[in-house]
Amino acid sequence: MKILGILFCAVIALVGSFFGHAMPVVGGIIFSIILGILINNTMKLPFSLQGGIKFSSKKILQYSIILMGFTLNLRVVAEMGISSLPITLTTITAALVASYLLGKWLGINENIRTLIGVGTAICGGSAIAAASPIIDAKEDEVAFSLSTIFLFNIIAVFLFPLMGHGFGLSDIGFGHFAGTAINDTSSVVAAGYAYSETAGDTATIVKLVRALMIIPVCLLLVAIQMKGHKQADFSIKKVFPWFILYFFLASVFTTIVDLPEEVIGYIKVISTFMISMAMAGIGLSVSVKKFISIGMKPVLLGASVWFVVAALSLVMQWVLNIW
């Protein structure tokens, strides 16, 4: 039953929130993922918890983002999405090109460098899951790519807020930085809200717009595969991140219906706690031994592409006067 794993994540989130309240500089979201990692790597968790842990790390995160839509006016969402589009398109292009060239230079096979490039460019594990059947990737290639991307997702949650403060980024600036340069939605949300509420709102919107790019990129991969006479198993219905649509619909509702500030305050508290639960679930999925076994070349490729994306994101912000 999933309920046991969900409750386990909720308990960790409660403890993480307690520590986060005591140390707001770190925050409950960060403490939740730290506790999850520590627990998973110091004790053997029963199998009965796994279903709920997986549900928390994926579905509860999506539900928290949808809920967040009720706190954001559609006008704000549209403005943020449009302002971030030049950075998003530039960083996605750079990630795909860098992954192809660097991966070729390092002697990494085509499928792995494609998956790492797509995962870094768009939305981490979701993009890899969408692209893998198109390029007919093997299970070990998918596992290597997912592990590499996941490693940098975890690092980003801790590193990016420190970098933001070090560079003196504004809340809006950090939101754009996290939204365009961190791989996975979960890590974007965690890092954003660890920085500030405004940074978290901005990062989430920017990231959701970026995640929509999964469709044109997958269509491009389909075209390449068809040119190479390979069968491409592709369905827009499977690839489309539906929770983004629901997020926008929630934002439309809030724009039409003027919700009381008190209600919006409660929604923010609930959605933040749900994010902490999701982070606990992700932490409980992290295996230090698994990361050690990946090997250096995919990790080096992932780090290099990630550096290119992060650096270009900051440069584009400076050019566009967002920083």
Give pLDDT, residue 229: 54
**Selection from 307, 48, 285 nearest residue 146 by Cα:** 285
pLDDT at 243 over 70: yes
Cα 182 to Cα 45, 206, 302, 323: the distances in Å are 29, 11, 12, 17
Q: Which domain holds residue 131?
A: 1-320
Q: What tens digit of pLDDT does each residue of 272-284 get?
A: 899 889 889 888 9
Q: Write the CB contacts of 32 (distance below 8 Å, at least 6 apart in sequence).
A: 12, 13, 15, 16, 17, 20, 276, 277, 279, 280, 283
Q: How far apart are CA 268 and CA 266, in angstroms?
A: 5
Q: What tens digit of pLDDT does each residue of 19-39 get?
A: 988 877 667 887 898 899 899
pLDDT at 156 over 70: yes
DSSP 59: I
The phi and psi torsions of 295 (rounded to 5 degrees) equal 100, 160
User: Predicted confidence band at 291 (pLDDT cuts at 50, 70, 90)?
Assistant: low
User: Predicted confidence band at 261 (pLDDT cuts at 50, 70, 90)?
Assistant: confident
pLDDT at 142 over 80: no
Count of the separate structural domains present in the chain: 1
Within 10 angstroms of residue 44's Cβ, the number of other Cβ atoms is 6
Give pLDDT, residue 231: 54
pLDDT at 267 over 60: yes
User: Predicted confidence band at 15 (pLDDT cuts at 50, 70, 90)?
Assistant: very high
Cα 153 to Cα 73, 87, 322: the distances in Å are 28, 20, 24
Q: What tens digit of pLDDT does each residue of 86-103 get?
A: 999 999 999 999 999 999
User: Predicted confidence band at 228 (pLDDT cuts at 50, 70, 90)?
Assistant: low
Chain Cα centroid distance, residue 258: 30
pLDDT at 224 over 90: no
User: Predicted confidence band at 81 (pLDDT cuts at 50, 70, 90)?
Assistant: confident
Q: How far apart are CA 67 and CA 247, in angstroms?
A: 7
pLDDT at 239 over 70: no
